[in-house]
Amino acid sequence: MANIVKGLIAGTIFGVVSIIPMFFMTFESKTRAMTASFISRFAIGFIIFNMDLPIPGWAKGGLVGLILSLPDAIVTKQYGPILGLGLMGGLICGFISK
């Protein structure tokens, strides 16, 4: 299977997993928050499978997950949950990418 397809699958799964808890939360604009979360997590999964770095897959995943989660964490001031999910999802995607 091509890396683009794997990235699309991983990104979609990670995006869906990230919005599931949001169904039970209250937001000013729930649709906007869920869309932003899905796109951010989708990008993490997609990029990890389609980026070549000379480091182990899990390290690449963790790095990408943290870096791409940081803007959302700064804007929302929810550092722990957002960076934690980005790191964990990135590590998992990176681990299975190699």
pLDDT of residue 63: 96
**C-alpha Rg value of the chain to the nearest Å:** 13
Low-confidence ranges of the chain (pLDDT < 70): none
Predicted pLDDT of residue 18: 93
Q: Are 44 and 88 in contact (CB under 8 A)?
A: no
Domain boundaries, the chain: 3-97
Q: Kindly report the CA angle at 14 between 42 and 8, in degrees rounded to 5?
A: 50
* pTM of the shown model: 0.88
Residue-level pLDDT at 27: 80
CA distances from 93 to 33, 36, 40, 55, 77 (A): 23, 19, 14, 14, 25
pLDDT of res. 51: 94
